[in-house]
Structure 1
Amino acid sequence: MSHINKLKIFNDPIYGFITIPNALIYDLIQHPYFQRLRRITQMGLSYLVYPGANHTRFHHALGCMHLMQKAVDVLRFKEVLISDEEENALYIAILLHDIGHGPFSHTMEKSIVEDVHHEQISLLFMEQLNIEFDGKLNLAIKVFKGEYHRKFMLQLISSQLDMDRMDYLKRDSFYSGVAEGNVNSERLIQMMNVVDDFLVIEEKGIYSIEKFLMSRRLMYWQAYLHKTSLVAELILTKVLKRAKELTTKGIQLSCSEPLLFFMQNKISFETFDAKNLNLFSQLDDFDIISALKSWQNNPDFILASLSKMIINRDLLKIKLTTEKPTIDDLELFKEKFAQENNLSLQEANYFVFKGKIKNQAYSKEAEPIRILKKDRSVEDVFESPDQLNLKSLSKSVTKYYICFPKQLEQIKI
């Protein structure tokens, strides 16, 4: 009988060596549900802008677990009591927090699997894994759902200063080359403590928080909401919606069986059963890319044209503005494009459309980042008199966009 060494080490370009703490974590990483994350890019279609941004959700999940290990060590050193069971629950919850992401991350939520958030699907995966692992994920699920009485544990997983954000900012900055996003996660973790079961940051770490929030704001403008990344994702959403529309009309499209299933069926959170979950677990970026390569030769003008845009990186023109565009601004574009390509105005909506994006680095309405002052009192970082910059970072900035085919650019709006 062969013996498998489950205490493996990963060599990560960000942190160096990442260790797997126990056999259960190893088995979860080895599960096909988790291995699927190797085939889902962390930054969606951002590689069309930043060629190095091809890293995956698999990378990110391991990085989050590594930071959680560091956080547990720091908190225990500061005499915060964390049992072995709680420690393992933290590792499992952060490892699996993104396991519900579909192909190209958020695109599926807006097209194929409508109105089902990836966190809901992550929970479904965790519950299914809990069955397979004989209830060993019970506490992790309780923490993930916010039902555990020790609130700081959820804050480490999901808050305005959690292991998730610390890793994706540092990792996405590294792979994209957007240096402004590089955060000092090690310093932030060293400043962590727990007071009354809430996570706090010691006062001397306040400037690291400011840098963290500023980095997040800049990464959204320069990377996540970069106009080319944005229009590529919008086009992909339109492709999938058109494919679903054609499929519901009985038109056969060439694609993988799991992708075809979700195009033929409207799946809600309530109907997301074990069978549907298994089919979803077979979906990854390769299903979408393979479908796009086939659909670019489809007789349907809309599906073929939009698919070619992604495959050849010949995208729609996108213009950003601080003023909301009017419906009249779009009508000239729609009428012109519809006339030139023998389309209805309704069909022209696939090529001419508008919308808005928001960027807010810190939310005053969400769970606050708490500062532990030298006199042991606790305050919201937003209330600190020394942090005038944070007040500007808490303001939501909205930009509007209009997308249209490049050949219509000469039309003035």
Structure 2
Amino acid sequence: MVTTNKLKVFNDPIYGFIGTPNELIFDLIGHPYFQRLRRISQMGMSYLVYPGAHHTRFHHALGCMHLMTKAIQILRSKEVEISEEEETGLLCAILLHDIGHGPFSHALEGLIVENVSHEAISLKLMQALNQDFSGALEVAIQIFQGSYHRPFMNQLVSSQLDMDRLDYLKRDSFYAGVTEGNINSERLIFMLNVVEGNLVLEEKGIYAVEKFLMARRFMYWQVYLHKTGLVAEQVLIRIMNRAKSLLKNGHSLNCSDTLTYFLQLKQPGLFTLETLNRFTQLDDIDVLSALKNWQSHSDFVLSSLCKMLLNRKLPHIKMKNGKVAESKWQEKLQSVMETFNVSEDDASYFVFRGEVANTAYDESYQTINILKKNGKVTHLLKESDQLSLSALTKKVTKHYICYPK
């Protein structure tokens, strides 16, 4: 009798061949919920700045699972007991940690489904999958939620030195074509250990984690929060808000039934089973298709914004450390009102301001602890001889104003 071998491999440009450790993982990858991640871009609109940044959440999830496999091997070699059930739980938790992302990932988070984070949606999808797989994801869900009795397992999935960050910095820098995020993830994983149930980094890994934190800072300001990518995502947000407004006022819009459902959703924050099922049908294609249709819509604001994004004729953006002067804001707003003969409300779709912030290392969120050679556990900042690391704990805020060129 011929049986199907489900232990397949994926050829990844970052790590080489990535295997599927067991049949549960194989079946989860093959599930429509997970296959949808092939149609969710990892870096939102960043491809308008870095043309190679077209990789997807599917790539990232597999990479995270691969790194988790390595972490489990290393910890076991250091006599950290991890059962087969816990191993499966860890692999499933990291594989599915981003399954709740919507179109263009963070770009439209909180807008497509108002007041609901991608983490909350990921949890609901994991719970739905748990039913489909007869309770096989119970441990994974506990690890994902942080309720499992061994804290280091959640820390491997979600912390300031988790498999998620170790993959996305290396992966995103590779596809964007920048070198700043090319961290030594293998070295960091090799230095991991567990003390009293918590994840620690051995003292020999201090320099590697210093480079990791600096890389994270550079990647955020140079790539993730690049001003052109930022203005592109803001235009996309305004397109969706305009579409919502038009539908609310009785206008017709040509787009998929799934996208229409979320644009008309009148119970923000209430995530029903129907909403969940609809969400699993939503991806980048729905949004891009809508933009192509709406560029010829009779509404001047909607059509103009869509053309801006599709043809990369984006508004000008100025970023500064201080707040944008009110006089500057009013001047640009008035100019657009006069040039296009539109109301102040319509002009505000083209002239807008805001702020972005980033903290490379947040001391208040699951600190990175160092295991010294004498067995003592201390905080990273106490052991690092890099004065710049203390500066990375400070929140950096930049203000911006956008207006048509």
TM-score (normalizing by structure 1): 0.96
User: Partner residue of 2:309?
Assistant: 310
In 1, the alpha carbon distance for the partners of 2:63 and 2:227 equals: 28
The one-letter code matched in structure 2 to 1:92 is: C
Whether the 8 Å contact between 1:152 and 1:194 is mirrored in structure 2 is yes
In 2, the alpha carbon distance for the partners of 1:176 and 1:222 equals: 11
Instruction: Measure how far apart 1:2 and its partner are.
Output: 6.9
Whether the 8 Å contact between 1:178 and 1:222 is mirrored in structure 2 is no
User: Partner residue of 2:285?
Assistant: 286
In 2, the alpha carbon distance for the partners of 1:25 and 1:268 equals: 33
Q: Does 1:22 align with 2:14?
A: no
The one-letter code matched in structure 2 to 1:315 is: L
Worse-superposed segment, 116-125 or 1-10: 1-10
Whether the 8 Å contact between 2:351 and 2:402 is mirrored in structure 1 is yes
TM-score (normalizing by structure 2): 0.98
In 2, the alpha carbon distance for the partners of 1:377 and 1:266 equals: 54
User: Partner residue of 2:328?
Assistant: 329
User: Partner residue of 1:409?
Assistant: none
User: Partner residue of 2:95?
Assistant: 95
Whether the 8 Å contact between 1:369 and 1:381 is mirrored in structure 2 is yes
The one-letter code matched in structure 2 to 1:294 is: N
User: Partner residue of 2:388?
Assistant: 389
User: Partner residue of 1:340?
Assistant: 339
Q: Does 1:131 align with 2:131?
A: yes
Worse-superposed segment, 332-341 or 314-323: 332-341
In 1, the alpha carbon distance for the partners of 2:106 and 2:190 equals: 32
In 2, the alpha carbon distance for the partners of 1:163 and 1:266 equals: 37
The one-letter code matched in structure 2 to 1:168 is: Y
Instruction: Measure how far apart 1:326 and its partner are.
Output: 2.4
Instruction: Measure how far apart 1:358 and its partner are.
Output: 1.0
Distance 1:207 1:118, change over 3 A: same
CA RMSD of aligned residues (A): 1.1
Worse-superposed segment, 38-47 or 1-10: 1-10
Whether the 8 Å contact between 1:112 and 1:241 is mirrored in structure 2 is no
Q: Does 1:398 align with 2:397?
A: yes
Q: Does 1:106 align with 2:106?
A: yes
Q: Does 1:81 align with 2:107?
A: no
The one-letter code matched in structure 2 to 1:286 is: I
Whether the 8 Å contact between 1:110 and 1:237 is mirrored in structure 2 is no
The one-letter code matched in structure 1 to 2:141 is: I
Instruction: Measure how far apart 1:113 and its partner are.
Output: 1.3
Q: Does 1:374 align with 2:354?
A: no
Instruction: Measure how far apart 1:274 and its partner are.
Output: 1.9
In 1, the alpha carbon distance for the partners of 2:39 and 2:65 equals: 19
In 2, the alpha carbon distance for the partners of 1:375 and 1:10 equals: 42
User: Partner residue of 2:143?
Assistant: 143
Long gaps (5+) in structure 1: 407-413
After superposition, give the CA deviation of every residue in 1:92-122 in whole Å (9 maximum; x if it has no partner): 0000000000000013224221111100000
- Aligned residue for 2:59, secondary structure, equals helix
In 2, the alpha carbon distance for the partners of 1:319 and 1:376 equals: 50
In 2, the alpha carbon distance for the partners of 1:266 and 1:188 equals: 46
In 1, the alpha carbon distance for the partners of 2:273 and 2:28 equals: 18
Instruction: Measure how far apart 1:206 and its partner are.
Output: 0.1
The one-letter code matched in structure 2 to 1:343 is: V
Instruction: Measure how far apart 1:344 and its partner are.
Output: 1.0
The one-letter code matched in structure 2 to 1:226 is: H
Whether the 8 Å contact between 1:170 and 1:182 is mirrored in structure 2 is yes
In 2, the alpha carbon distance for the partners of 1:21 and 1:153 equals: 18
In 2, the alpha carbon distance for the partners of 1:266 and 1:16 equals: 46
User: Partner residue of 2:218?
Assistant: 218
In 1, the alpha carbon distance for the partners of 2:204 and 2:89 equals: 29
In 1, the alpha carbon distance for the partners of 2:159 and 2:254 equals: 41
The one-letter code matched in structure 2 to 1:288 is: V
User: Partner residue of 2:66?
Assistant: 66
In 2, the alpha carbon distance for the partners of 1:5 and 1:259 equals: 38
In 1, the alpha carbon distance for the partners of 2:241 and 2:299 equals: 13
User: Partner residue of 2:243?
Assistant: 243
Q: Does 1:158 align with 2:158?
A: yes
In 1, the alpha carbon distance for the partners of 2:90 and 2:97 equals: 10
Task: Using the aligned pairs only, state the percent identity.
Answer: 60
In 2, the alpha carbon distance for the partners of 1:145 and 1:281 equals: 21
Distance 1:142 1:342, change over 3 A: same
Instruction: Measure how far apart 1:311 and its partner are.
Output: 0.5
In 1, the alpha carbon distance for the partners of 2:345 and 2:394 equals: 36
The one-letter code matched in structure 1 to 2:177 is: G
Aligned length: 405
In 1, the alpha carbon distance for the partners of 2:108 and 2:316 equals: 23
User: Partner residue of 2:55?
Assistant: 55
- Aligned residue for 1:142, secondary structure, equals helix
- Aligned residue for 1:294, secondary structure, equals helix
- Aligned residue for 2:205, secondary structure, equals helix
In 2, the alpha carbon distance for the partners of 1:5 and 1:339 equals: 67
In 2, the alpha carbon distance for the partners of 1:10 and 1:113 equals: 32
Whether the 8 Å contact between 2:45 and 2:107 is mirrored in structure 1 is no
The one-letter code matched in structure 2 to 1:356 is: E
Long gaps (5+) in structure 2: none
